[in-house]
């Protein structure tokens, strides 16, 4: 139980510095610090460390805020330019999956008919069916890569 009082006192010391304590909590902490020499030493050390940190002078580059604002604006512009293209790719992917699901039975029958009439190997027909499903994704990926290449060349 004694360890709990010390842990609670440490937590209250930190909270007092960060956000403040209620009057009741502050009185309880002061009473504990009056009784407990170890916690009182810890409170003094903590106060000294905070004072030392506040006394430190940290030099920042003069134009840090301006450079940060400029980079934020540049990144926001990049995101604005990429936003519609990304939404378009997702829309194309969704539509292709919907059409793929709707046409799967017909395409499957078509490949079966083709296999019966041409004698093509079953593995080739299965590969063709998978390629039928993968083609929209491959085309969308090609469009995205082409667009990025086009933007990169336009920026140079």
Containing 129, the helix (H) or strand (E) segment is helix 122-155
Which structural domain range is residue 50 located in? 2-55
With respect to residue 43, please indicate whether it lies within any of the assigned structural domains. Answer: yes
Considering the domain boundaries, does residue 60 fall inside one? no
Is there a single domain that holds both residue 91 and residue 18? no
Which pLDDT tens digit goes with each residue over 60-94?
888 888 899 999 999 888 777 766 666 777 787 78
DSSP conformation letters of 63-82:
THHHHHHHHHHHHHHHHHHH
Q: Report pLDDT for 83.
A: 66
40 domain-assigned: yes
With the C-alpha atoms ordered 129, 134, 135, 136, is the resulting torsion angle positive or negative?
A: positive
Domain boundary among 29, 55, 81: 55
Q: What is the model's pLDDT at position 154? A: 67
Total structural domains within the chain: 2
What pLDDT does 1 receive?
42
pLDDT computed for residue 34 by the predictor:
92
pLDDT of residue 70: 92
List strand residue ranges (DSSP E) for the chain, in order: none
Give this prediction's pTM: 0.37
Note down pLDDT in tens along the chain; length 156 residues: 466 888 888 889 988 888 888 889 888 889 989 999 999 999 999 889 888 888 888 888 888 888 999 999 998 887 777 666 667 777 877 887 788 788 888 888 888 898 888 988 888 888 888 888 788 778 877 877 787 777 777 665
User: Looking at the domain assignment, is residue 61 inside a domain?
Assistant: no
48 shares its domain with 78:
no
Same domain, 81 and 27: no
Spatial contact of 50 and 43, defined as CB atoms under 8 Å apart:
no
Query: Is residue 33, in this structure, part of any structural domain at all?
Result: yes
């Amino acid at each position: 139980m004694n360890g709990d009082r010390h842990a609670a006192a440490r937590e209250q010391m930190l909270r007092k510095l960060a956000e403040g304590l209620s009057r009741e909590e502050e009185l309880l902490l002061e009473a504990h610090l009056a009784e407990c020499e170890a916690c009182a030493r810890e409170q003094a050390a903590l106060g000294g460390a905070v004072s030392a940190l506040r006394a430190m002078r940290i030099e920042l580059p003069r134009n840090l805020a301006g450079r940060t604002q400029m980079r934020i604006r540049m990144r926001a512009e990049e995101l604005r330019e990429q936003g519609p293209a990304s939404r378009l790719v997702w829309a194309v992917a969704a539509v292709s999956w919907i059409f793929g699901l709707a046409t799967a039975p017909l395409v499957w029958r078509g490949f079966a008919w083709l296999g019966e009439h041409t004698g093509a190997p079953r593995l080739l027909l299965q590969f063709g069916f998978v390629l039928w499903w993968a083609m929209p994704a491959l085309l969308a990926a090609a469009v995205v890569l082409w667009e990025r290449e086009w933007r990169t060349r336009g920026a140079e």
